[in-house]
């Protein structure tokens, strides 16, 4: 057995450690910081309240109701807790409800020892039965299938020990299972009341919830965990958090300027001009945090048999050489993003930095014209499909213009989210798809999710997310995600196979920004890069302006 026993040293009482840039810093606030190192701080003074603007609605507070509620992701982590949690992207698991974990040698299971003094906000004691109930509820509801689909069974060893077994041991699967499913009491959880007035296991409880408008959380004064063992993301430096839903980007900036909110959880890059000077330095009244995102935008060729591009490597290569990636990113994001050099981005710990200095179909119009001539391209229109999203719609239009330069005709197909989700796996509907993907910890795990033949089925055959059935790629991906694999050589093998065969192509990774009043001395993000207001730090003279 491989034993990983976790403990947390008492957190140092400190103030003013910045995750990004703020008053007094000369570093440009526009320079993103990689979320690769923990910046754990616990401020000595607790503030009365902080008001936060979030750019997404919160349709429900029930963590089991939907696996795709962006608004929910902003607030669930304050109300609920999983067994373990990462502090930063790709970081180690740290205790939450689980105290320690033992992984089997072959990573087929994890045996978790719980803290024996966990209570929810209604006073219900959390035991192994509640953990089993929580996992089985999510499995049966099929709302977090990207995490739970690999669970074989969850069983109790004793009152405070559970064993979770997986169907197939693979990279990051057990870690996701342990850190992404919230635990509730079987006696407290009710889907009806959980939607608006949930029982909390986390550091905050719900005071007031108005769907589509705001959510008010209050700190649990009798929160179950001992102060020196609190997970860094469960620190509650604010007695009250007021989440205000602000969907319009300009209104988010205005709300911060007028004092209606103290922190903007997400600021559009175009609005940063109100918070930084012409040199990109933060203005005295604000704190600006900037970070590279793990979400990267990309394109994929339809590799299913019979598509207009799948059998013509030179055509695919010509298309890639014709795309001016730098101009594309500038046209879509301005200075708020960067070109990526793989089907992934460099915030992942298993990304090989040498890829950044190598040719990745770098713009070469003459080479593209030569390849298109050799490809035998017959003038048939190439269908570019994307979701109705401002960035990807703009990218599709720019790519259409680039391809006209080499004589390739295109049709742009823009669909709403529901139709896009349907057509993406109907491989007679498109030739190029524009999309984005991310993973919570590892690039290899992302590849193992989307670039495996278990991803989809087309005409009775297992295929990748872009319709490819290729045993060579399958073997390379499985080696990269294997527990006893995942070496630099394994990662290189997948990267170069994807590149050499022009199967998928990375376009850009954006930067994300949070801005606050200057009394917020540091901005804390979760490992998924969402704002964690309770764990932010505040100056001694901080006072909410809202």
In tens, the pLDDT along 467-509 reads 999 999 999 999 999 888 889 999 999 999 999 999 999 999 9
Instruction: Check whether residue 300 and residue 246 sit in a common domain.
Output: no
- pLDDT given for residue 245 in this prediction: 95
Q: Are 511 and 272 in contact (CB under 8 A)?
A: no
pLDDT band at 6; cut points 50, 70, 90: very low
Q: Are 382 and 432 in contact (CB under 8 A)?
A: yes
CB-count burial class (<10 Å; 0-12, 13-18, 19+) for 540: exposed
Query: Comparing 261 with 37, which gets the higher pLDDT?
Result: 261
What is d(CA 442, CA 171) in angstroms, rounded to the nearest whole number? 8
Q: What is the CATH number of the domain that holds 363?
A: 3.10.105.10
What is d(CA 308, CA 510) in angstroms, rounded to the nearest whole number? 30
Instruction: Check whether residue 63 and residue 141 sit in a common domain.
Output: yes
Q: Does residue 543 belong to any structural domain of this protein? A: no
- pLDDT given for residue 89 in this prediction: 87
The predicted-structure confidence for 370-400, as pLDDT tens digits, reads as follows 999 999 999 999 999 999 988 999 999 999 9
Q: What is the CATH number of the domain that holds 534?
A: 3.40.190.10
Using the predicted structure, report yes or no on whether residue 29 has a pLDDT greater than 70: no
| CA 421 to the chain's CA centroid | 18
Instruction: Check whether residue 15 and residue 74 sit in a common domain.
Output: yes
Structural domains of the chain, count = 2
Q: Which of 293, 232, 257 is nearest to 438 (CA)?
A: 293
SS3 377: coil
Using the predicted structure, report yes or no on whether residue 258 has a pLDDT greater than 50: yes
Instruction: Check whether residue 37 and residue 177 sit in a common domain.
Output: yes
- pLDDT given for residue 546 in this prediction: 86
Residue 48, number of CB atoms within 10 A of its CB? 10
Residue 181, number of CB atoms within 10 A of its CB? 24
Q: Does residue 465 belong to any structural domain of this protein? A: yes
pLDDT band at 22; cut points 50, 70, 90: very low
Instruction: Check whether residue 273 and residue 319 sit in a common domain.
Output: no
pTM for the whole structure: 0.80
Instruction: Check whether residue 525 and residue 506 sit in a common domain.
Output: no
Rg of the chain (C-alpha set)? 24
Instruction: Check whether residue 229 and residue 310 sit in a common domain.
Output: no
Q: Does residue 545 belong to any structural domain of this protein? A: no
Using the predicted structure, report yes or no on whether residue 356 has a pLDDT greater than 60: yes
Q: Which domain holds residue 57?
A: 2-285+518-538
Q: Does residue 544 belong to any structural domain of this protein? A: no
* H or E element at residue 102: strand 98-103
Instruction: Check whether residue 58 and residue 161 sit in a common domain.
Output: yes
- pLDDT given for residue 33 in this prediction: 53
- For 469-489, letters b (16+ CB in 10 Å) and e give bbeebbebbbbbbbbebbeee
Instruction: Check whether residue 113 and residue 256 sit in a common domain.
Output: yes
- pLDDT given for residue 32 in this prediction: 58
Q: Does residue 21 belong to any structural domain of this protein? A: yes
Using the predicted structure, report yes or no on whether residue 19 has a pLDDT greater than 50: no
Q: Which of 114, 265, 142 is nearest to 201 (CA)?
A: 114
Angle at CA of residue 494, ends 144 and 326, nearest 5°: 90
Query: Comparing 478 with 90, which gets the higher pLDDT?
Result: 478
Phi, psi of 41, rounded to the nearest 5 degrees: -140, 145
Using the predicted structure, report yes or no on whether residue 39 has a pLDDT greater than 60: no
- pLDDT given for residue 146 in this prediction: 79
Residue 52, number of CB atoms within 10 A of its CB? 27
Q: Does residue 333 belong to any structural domain of this protein? A: yes
Average pLDDT (27-49) is 56
Q: Does residue 546 belong to any structural domain of this protein? A: no
Instruction: Check whether residue 265 and residue 325 sit in a common domain.
Output: no
Distances in Å between the alpha carbon of 83 and those of 132, 167, 206? 12, 20, 21
DSSP-assigned letters across all residues of 458-499: ETTEEE-TTS---HHHHHHHHHHHSTT---HHHHHHHHHHHH
Using the predicted structure, report yes or no on whether residue 98 has a pLDDT greater than 60: yes
Instruction: Check whether residue 44 and residue 169 sit in a common domain.
Output: yes
Q: Are 35 and 540 in contact (CB under 8 A)?
A: no
Residue 238, number of CB atoms within 10 A of its CB? 29
- pLDDT given for residue 378 in this prediction: 95
The predicted-structure confidence for 296-345, as pLDDT tens digits, reads as follows 999 999 999 999 999 999 999 999 999 999 999 999 998 889 999 999 99
Instruction: Check whether residue 215 and residue 333 sit in a common domain.
Output: no
Q: Does residue 260 belong to any structural domain of this protein? A: yes
What is d(CA 72, CA 60) in angstroms, rounded to the nearest whole number? 7
Mean pLDDT of the chain: 90
């Amino acid at each position: 057995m491989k034993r990983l026993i976790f403990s947390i040293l008492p957190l140092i009482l400190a103030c003013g450690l910045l995750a990004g840039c703020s008053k007094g810093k000369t570093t440009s606030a526009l320079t993103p910081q990689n979320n690769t190192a923990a910046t754990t701080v616990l401020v000595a003074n607790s503030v009365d309240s902080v008001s936060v603007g979030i750019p997404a609605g919160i349709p429900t507070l029930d963590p089991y109701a939907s696996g795709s509620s962006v608004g929910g992701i902003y607030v669930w982590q304050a109300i609920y807790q999983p067994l373990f949690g990462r502090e930063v992207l790709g970081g180690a698991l740290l205790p939450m409800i689980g105290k320690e974990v033992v992984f089997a040698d072959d990573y087929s299971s994890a045996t978790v020892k719980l803290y024996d003094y966990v209570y929810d906000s209604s006073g219900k004691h959390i035991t192994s039965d509640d953990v089993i109930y929580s996992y089985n509820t999510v499995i049966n509801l099929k709302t977090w299938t990207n995490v739970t689909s690999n669970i074989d069974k969850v069983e109790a060893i004793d009152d405070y020990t559970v064993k979770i077994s997986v169907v197939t041991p693979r990279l990051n699967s057990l870690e996701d299972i342990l850190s992404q499913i919230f635990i509730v009491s079987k006696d407290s959880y009710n889907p009806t009341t959980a939607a608006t007035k949930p029982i909390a296991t986390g550091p905050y409880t719900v005071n007031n919830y108005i769907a589509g408008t705001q959510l008010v959380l209050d700190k649990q004064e009798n929160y179950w965990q001992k102060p020196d063992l609190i997970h860094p993301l469960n620190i509650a430096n604010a007695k009250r958090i007021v989440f205000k839903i602000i969907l319009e980007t300009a209104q988010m900036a205005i709300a911060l300027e007028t004092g209606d909110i103290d922190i903007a959880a997400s600021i559009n890059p175009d609005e940063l001009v109100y918070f930084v000077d012409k040199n990109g330095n933060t203005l005295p009244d604000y704190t600006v945090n900037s970070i590279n995102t793990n979400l990267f935008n990309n394109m994929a060729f339809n590799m299913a048999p019979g598509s207009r591009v799948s059998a013509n490597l030179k055509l695919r290569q010509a298309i890639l050489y014709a795309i001016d990636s730098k101009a594309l990113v500038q046209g879509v994001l301005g200075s708020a993003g960067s070109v990526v050099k793989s089907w992934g981005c460099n915030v992942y710990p298993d990304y090989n930095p040498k890829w950044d200095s190598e040719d990745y179909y770098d713009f070469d119009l003459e080479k593209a014209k030569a390849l298109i001539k050799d490809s035998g391209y017959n003038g048939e229109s190439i269908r570019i499909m994307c979701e109705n999203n401002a960035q990807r719609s703009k990218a599709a239009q720019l790519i259409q213009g680039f391809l006209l330069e080499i004589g390739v005709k295109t049709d742009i197909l823009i669909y709403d989210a529901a139709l896009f989700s349907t057509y993406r796996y109907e491989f007679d509907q498109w030739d190029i798809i524009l999309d984005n993907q991310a993973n919570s910890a590892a690039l290899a795990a992302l590849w193992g999710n989307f670039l495996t033949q278990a991803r989809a089925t087309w005409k009775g055959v297992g295929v990748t997310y872009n319709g490819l059935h290729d045993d060579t790629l399958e073997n390379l991906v499985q080696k990269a995600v294997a527990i006893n694999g995942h070496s630099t050589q394994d990662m290189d093998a997948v990267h170069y196979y994807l590149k050499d065969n022009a199967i998928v192509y990375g376009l850009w990774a954006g930067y994300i920004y949070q801005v606050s009043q200057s009394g917020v001395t540091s901005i804390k993000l979760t490992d998924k890069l969402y704002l964690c207001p309770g764990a932010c730090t505040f100056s001694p003279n901080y006072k909410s302006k809202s």
